Structures are given as structure tokens and as C-alpha cells.
């Protein structure tokens, strides 16, 4: 017999009634009350979302088993697959709307004038300085996280089970189950779904629910912002007039990455002690240094996001920017913070290729393979997982590794390649085993491009394909600094050039060729310039610049642009990360490099 049931018909009795003997079950009850018991979510949305279910008791039994789950259960892949098969089948039944609205775009023939581009740059600078100046004692560039209850569009049953099997944190497993249930019921009601998510123009999703945003400061954001401002300063000699204003900002951003966010780890095989850069630094008392309130920090801990491992991407981005800062200071003969310079030199003074090679899939070690395989259809051979090796002791004394699961994301791996090439001489990157590591890493990227897999959103955990292409451009500019003999040692088969040609065609045909928003356009223009697109005056770059100009003024509260999805998390649900000022910083970079390239 089929019955129209709500999520509460499934969960209330097995979750809220009776005793709970396990820590995992108690956490599930807590998370259920916090998430599905929230009055706005419950009475405005989920109470009115129904699914026709033939066997309600099957789903209730699933939640009962989740409530009684022991740590051993959660470590048993077969128990997970069997227990949550009903939910996996529900996820497979979802039909996703077409969220990205992209129509064929007309290519412009008239380029923006230098004056028009300078106006865009001035507007972005005004926004950047205004935001920075808001907190005189402790300035920062805010970035927000926005939860999308509709979930990740590519979370089918297989991916859901794979995530549960690959996570280490029981709390994270619990909220993954709850968010998957929310997705199933919310997607069944198009009318209510439209209240929280609507189709949008372009590729990156605009962040619209500002009242739900969780603000934070993390090294990943700061290190990117550092690069954008440094690129602006270097893009034109006239920008020296901004040195006095921007140099202190650059030092603040880099200090937060190199010093505040540094922690110590040990490699899993050779036990090399080394620093790494974490997303959620803490002070000596364990309090967050990432601008989260105590209440929000506790919520993150309760829901399974409290313990983070330093990630390879942020660490190698920081290593790249430390090198660029040292070079910039020397070139410009600047009088700057000597302690920060020493910390940058110290950070670079480790055998980073040997360190990261212990994590490579298909390398000399097999100690830290990816535990989650949702970035499909990538071939992982030669790639490095997202997280470094770090263990945590649970309340019951169990040692937990892979709190958030370990995954492969090509964007992270492009940052690793770029950073190693920047520091190739100090790290002896083009010698012996280090060179073999680089060959395997380059092969991974080459396969991603020649196969066309880089075009699929499913292939990237934290990024969109347009960002991966932009990262290729950044690496390509570093590659051009190699001597001819170094280029031949790294890439005797000219794989980087073939990747470049594929990326340029993608930027021209699939990015600029269709409707974009301002953030998309900034990435497309930056990628085209970095990849040295020719003929530069044929209207392709100009089309991207026009998108940014036409969108200027769309933002609220004095910002020239909206906040857009810069990066994201694909589990436990879909979480967008960005801010209005981050859009301004990306547009600033794009316009700065385009002016230099075009004129």
C-alpha cells in the first residue's frame, strides 16, 4: 500500500523515542533536532514535502539501525551499503532541474576602452578597501558559506554510499544521512523547492540567502586574495601609487596563512616532520582564529565539522605565494616585515616534493589512498588526495583518520604542480625521484584534459571546470619561466601545450560562447590571458570583459557585484562558499591582466 509520507513519518519514532546506547546514536538524535527540528525548516518546508512510499517501515528500520549503530558498524562497508540501500534508491529516483541557464552568446566586436576598464578596476578597489577598513583593529576579507538544502546535483545512490563508507567521523556520517533525506523530500516538491533555489544565468551559482550565511576567515581564501592583489600591483608600473595602501594588506593576508594557520605534521612513511596550512587554526586555548563566533564554532563541532586536517591545496598555494612575496620584495627592494620574510623562507625550507610524494596515487607508497571516489570519471593515477595524514582520538579512545574522507580533486593537484615548478630549484624538483613524481602528476592532468573529463562538474570536488582551467593558466605562466632544458626534462612530449590548446578552445567555445555571470567572466578572461590566447583582439576576451562591465552595479549594500559560488562542498550537502568582495577581487585581477595583455 502506497502512502504519502513526510520525512518526519520516517524519522520521528526511531530517532526521538526510546533509549540510545551509542554515542553515534546520541549524536544523530542531537543533529536531527538541530536540523530537521528547526522551526523554519520544519513548518515552512519539510512538513509539506511528501513522497509516495510503499513500505514506510523499511525506512523507519533504516533510521532505527542508524540510531543503534556502533563504531564497528560505521567502519563496515557492507553494513553501510545494506542499511542505507533504501535511501540510496530514493536518491537515484530524483530528477534534477536544469539550474544553469546558458544560451548561445553573441560575440562583441568593440573592445572596452582603457578608461572603461580603469573604471571597473577603481570600482573593485573601492569595494576592497572599504571592506578591509571596516575593522580597524583586525581587518579581514569575509567569506561566507551557504547551505543548499537541495543537495549536490550529482549525489546519486552510489556516491552517497561511497561517501558514508569513506568518512571517518561518525558525526559527519550522521549529517550526511540527514541531508540526503532532506534532498529526497525537498526535490519532490518543486513549488517549495523554488523558495530556496532557482535557476540562474551562467555557471557559478549566485549566493542569494544572505541571512543564512556563516562568515569565516580561512587561509585558502586569504592566499588567493593575496595573489589577486599582488597581480594587480605587478600588472602596471602606474600601480606603484598603491604600494603604501596594499603592501600592509598583503602582509596581513600572508601572515595569516604562513604564521597563524601553520601547524605541524609528520609524513606517514618516512616520518618527516613538516609544517602545513590548516583551514581552522586555533589559539593556545583551543579557540578558533577564523572569525567564527563561539556559538557557530560549537555548532560546527556538534555537526562533525570541528576537526579539520590541513589540506594539500592551501599548503601548496601558500608555498607558491611565499616564494612570490620573497621575489617581489627583492625585485622592488621593499622595506617590509623581516619576521614575515624569515617565516616564508622557513616554510619553503623543507623537502616538499619528497613530502607530498608520499601521498601520490601510483607512487612509491600506498599508505593514504583516496577513500571517497565521487570525482568521476577521473583516472586518479598520479594524483594527490586533498588532505594530509592526521589522526584524532575519539572520546572512546579510538584513533580516527580521514575525518572528512580523502578525495582527489584536479584543482588541488594543479596548485601542487604550479607551486613545485615555482620552487623547482630549491626543492630539486627536476631531479631523480622528484622528477618521476612530477611526470606522474603531469600525466594525471594531461589525461584529464585530453579525455575531456575536466569539462564535467562531477570531476571536481571543490571547484567548477572553469576554475581548473584558470589554474592551468596560472601553471602555464610558471612553466614559461623554465629554461628550455628544464622544459624538456619536465615535458618532453609537449603535454602542457596540448592541455593549453584544449583549454583555450574550451574557454572560447564553452565559456565565452554562452551566457555567463560576472564571476564566470572573470575566470574566463583570466584564463584566456594566462594561456596567452591569440588573436587577442578578435572579440573573445572583449566579450568576457563586457559581461563584467554590464554586471557592474548588480551588488547590494555598496558592492559592485553579487557573491557567487567560488568553491563548494559536495557533501554532506551542497555548500557554496564566496562573498561579494571575493567577486570584486577576481574581477580586479581579470581586468588588470587583460589591460596589460590587450594594450
Please report the pLDDT score of residue 19 as a whole number: 77
Tell me how long the chain is.
599
Q: Check pLDDT > 70 for residue 304.
A: no
CA gap 82, 214 in Å, rounded: 35
Instruction: Give per-residue pLDDT as tens, 499-540.
Output: 999 999 999 999 999 999 999 999 999 999 999 999 999 999
Q: What pTM does this model have? A: 0.96
All three cell numbers of 283: 589559539
Q: How far is CA 143 from CA 218, 220, 222, 412, 464, in A?
A: 8, 10, 10, 19, 18
Give every CB contact of residue 508 below 8 A, 6+ residues apart in sequence: 528, 533, 540
CA gap 559, 130 in Å, rounded: 9
Lowest mean pLDDT among 172-186, 228-242, 281-295: 281-295
All three cell numbers of 216: 569565516
Lowest mean pLDDT among 234-238, 271-275, 364-368, 452-456: 364-368
Q: Check pLDDT > 70 for residue 311.
A: yes
| Per-chain mean pLDDT for the chain | 94
Task: For residues 401-426, give the mean pLDDT.
Answer: 94
Q: How far is CA 329 from CA 234, 321, 532, in A?
A: 12, 12, 26
Q: Are strands 262-266 and 273-277 parallel, antiparallel or unpaired?
A: antiparallel
CA gap 227, 475 in Å, rounded: 13
All three cell numbers of 2: 502506497
Amino acid at each position: 500500500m502506497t502512502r504519502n509520507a513526510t520525512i518526519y513519518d520516517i524519522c520521528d519514532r526511531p530517532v526521538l523515542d526510546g533509549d540510545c546506547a551509542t554515542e553515534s546514536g546520541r549524536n544523530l538524535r542531537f543533529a536531527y533536532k538541530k536540523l530537521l527540528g528547526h522551526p523554519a525548516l520544519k513548518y515552512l518546508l519539510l512538513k509539506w514535502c511528501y513522497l509516495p512510499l510503499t513500505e514506510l517501515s523499511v525506512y523507519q528500520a533504516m533510521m532505527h539501525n542508524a540510531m543503534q549503530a556502533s563504531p564497528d558498524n560505521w567502519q563496515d562497508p557492507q553494513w553501510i551499503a545494506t542499511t542505507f540501500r533504501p535511501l540510496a534508491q530514493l536518491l537515484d529516483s530524483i530528477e534534477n532541474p536544469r539550474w544553469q541557464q546558458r544560451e548561445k552568446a553573441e560575440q562583441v566586436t568593440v573592445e572596452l576602452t582603457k578608461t572603461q576598464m580603469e573604471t571597473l578596476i577603481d570600482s573593485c578597489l573601492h569595494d576592497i578597501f572599504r571592506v578591509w577598513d571596516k575593522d580597524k583593529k583586525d581587518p579581514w576579507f569575509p567569506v561566507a558559506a551557504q547551505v543548499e538544502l537541495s543537495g549536490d546535483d550529482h549525489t546519486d545512490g552510489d556516491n552517497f554510499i561511497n561517501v558514508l563508507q569513506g568518512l571517518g567521523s561518525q558525526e559527519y556520517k550522521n549529517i550526511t544521512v540527514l541531508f540526503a533525506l532532506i534532498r529526497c523530500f525537498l526535490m519532490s516538491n518543486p513549488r517549495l523547492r523554488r523558495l530556496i533555489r532557482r535557476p540562474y544565468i551562467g555557471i557559478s551559482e549566485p549566493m542569494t540567502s544572505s541571512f543564512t550565511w556563516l562568515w569565516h576567515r580561512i587561509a585558502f581564501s586569504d592566499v588567493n586574495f593575496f595573489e589577486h592583489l599582488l597581480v594587480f600591483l605587478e600588472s602596471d608600473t602606474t600601480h606603484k601609487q598603491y604600494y603604501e595602501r596594499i603592501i600592509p594588506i598583503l602582509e596581513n593576508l600572508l601572515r595569516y596563512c604562513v604564521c597563524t594557520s601553520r601547524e605541524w605534521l609528520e609524513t606517514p612513511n618516512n616520518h618527516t616532520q613538516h609544517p602545513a596550512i590548516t583551514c581552522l587554526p586555533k589559539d593556545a586555548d583551543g579557540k578558533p582564529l577564523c572569525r567564527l563566533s563561539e556559538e557557530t564554532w560549537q555548532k560546527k563541532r556538534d555537526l562533525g565539522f570541528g576537526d579539520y586536517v590541513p589540506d594539500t591545496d592551501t599548503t601548496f598555494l601558500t608555498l607558491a605565494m611565499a616564494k612570490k612575496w620573497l621575489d617581489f620584495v627583492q625585485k622592488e627592494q621593499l622595506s617590509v616585515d623581516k619576521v614575515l620574510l624569515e617565516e616564508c623562507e622557513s616554510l619553503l625550507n623543507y623537502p616538499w616534493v619528497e613530502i607530498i610524494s608520499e601521498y601520490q596515487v601510483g607512487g612509491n607508497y600506498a599508505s593514504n589512498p583516496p577513500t571517497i571516489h565521487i570525482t568521476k570519471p577521473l583516472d586518479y593515477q598520479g594524483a594527490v588526495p586533498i588532505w594530509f595524514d592526521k589522526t584524532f582520538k575519539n572520546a572512546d579512545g579510538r584513533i580516527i583518520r580521514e575525518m572528512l574522507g580523502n578525495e582527489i580533486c584536479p584543482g588541488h593537484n594543479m596548485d601542487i604542480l604550479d607551486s613545485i615548478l615555482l620552487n623547482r630549484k630549491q626543492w630539486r624538483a627536476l631531479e631523480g625521484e622528484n622528477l618521476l613524481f612530477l611526470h606522474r602528476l603531469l600525466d594525471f592532468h594531461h589525461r584529464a584534459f585530453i579525455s575531456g573529463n575536466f569539462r564535467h562538474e562531477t570531476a571536481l570536488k571543490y571547484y567548477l571546470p572553469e576554475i581548473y582551467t584558470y589554474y592551468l593558466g596560472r601553471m602555464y605562466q610558471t612553466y614559461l619561466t623554465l629554461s628550455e632544458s628544464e622544459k624538456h626534462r619536465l615535458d618532453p612530449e609537449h603535454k602542457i601545450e596540448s592541455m593549453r590548446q584544449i583549454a583555450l578552445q574550451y574557454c572560447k567555445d564553452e565559456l565565452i560562447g554562452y551566457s555567463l555571470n560576472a564571476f564566470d567572466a572573470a575566470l574566463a578572461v583570466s584564463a584566456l590571458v594566462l594561456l596567452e590566447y591569440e588573436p587577442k583582439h578578435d572579440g573573445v576576451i572583449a566579450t568576457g570583459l563586457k559581461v563584467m562591465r554590464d554586471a557592474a552595479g548588480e551588488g547590494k549594500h555598496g558592492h559592485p557585484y553579487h557573491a557567487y559560488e567560488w568553491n563548494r562542498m559536495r557533501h554532506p550537502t551542497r555548500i557554496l562558499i564566496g562573498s561579494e568582495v571575493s567577486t570584486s577581487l577576481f574581477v580586479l585581477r581579470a581586468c588588470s591582466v587583460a589591460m596589460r595583455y590587450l594594450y
